[in-house]
Amino acid sequence: MGIGTLGERTLHATLKRFLEPDTSKHEIPFGGYVADILNESGITEIQTRGIYHMKVKLEALLAETNVTLVHPVSRQRWIIWLDPATGEQTSRRKSPKQGKPCDALYELSSIAHLIPNERLKVCIIMVDVEEYRRLDGWSRDKKKGSTRAERIPIELGETIELDCPADYVKLLPENLPELFTIAEFAKAARMTGFTGSISFKLLRELGVVVSCGKRGRAGLWRVNRDMVSINT
């Protein structure tokens, strides 16, 4: 099958085989849904993006058994452009943007209410990918607003396991100052203001960061020391 016919499935299928080599434990009906993996550890669901789509399914599965939600974050990308008319492709180019574990916060914010559930474990896997994009965007060079056709994993990196809210300290950007505003958090995480504020909201709801006054009109925050001590 050609590039683009599987959408996100190459990355999804690779992770599924990596996490559970026994294919007889893949795509198992359970509770009215189909689990990506069902084995002695419970259910594993792999979601490459759009975790908000998983809310209802996760709620149902967690009522019955342990669930591990696996979410890959692109650590390094090599971009390959495709001409949608001819199928011709360019040589790959290394993207200057590098993914970070904290990038997962934005996606996970949609299931904030499920994170304290003791049956839920979140697993972030850093992965290097070749990303194929169609030259079908709205800009003159057809790149802005273009469609991502496929992501091919070429190397798996660090795995970050998040078993409870305290573990989300692991997703904080390394260069975060002791006291910071939401804007400073977004800058340290190299996020836009919108993405940074949504990601920060998750950390606040989980108790990873706590309020400690103001600097001018902006609220000041610090990392919850109790949660840091749990992870040291």
- Identify which of 214, 87, 71, 99 has the alpha carbon closest to the alpha carbon of residue 149: 87
- Identify which of 27, 5, 12 has the alpha carbon closest to the alpha carbon of residue 153: 12
Beta bridge partners of 30: 33
148 and 190 Cβ atoms separated by less than 8 Å: no
Q: What whole-number distance in Å separates Cα of residue 211 and Cα of residue 222?
A: 7
Beta bridge partners of 133: 81, 148
Beta strands of the chain (E only): which ranges? Answer: 26-30, 33-39, 42-46, 67-82, 93-94, 120-134, 147-162, 209-215, 218-223
The CATH class of 168-232 is mainly alpha
69 and 123 Cβ atoms separated by less than 8 Å: yes
Q: pTM for the whole thing?
A: 0.89
DSSP 29: E
- How buried is 16 (Cβ within 10 angstroms: 0-12 exposed, 13-18 middle, 19+ buried)? buried
pLDDT tens digit at each of 232 positions of the chain: 333 333 447 899 999 999 999 999 999 999 999 999 999 999 999 999 899 999 999 999 999 999 999 999 999 999 999 888 888 888 889 988 889 999 999 999 999 999 999 999 999 999 999 988 888 889 888 888 888 888 889 999 999 999 999 999 999 998 899 999 999 999 999 999 999 999 999 999 999 999 998 988 889 999 998 877 677 6
Domain ranges for the chain? 1-163, 168-232
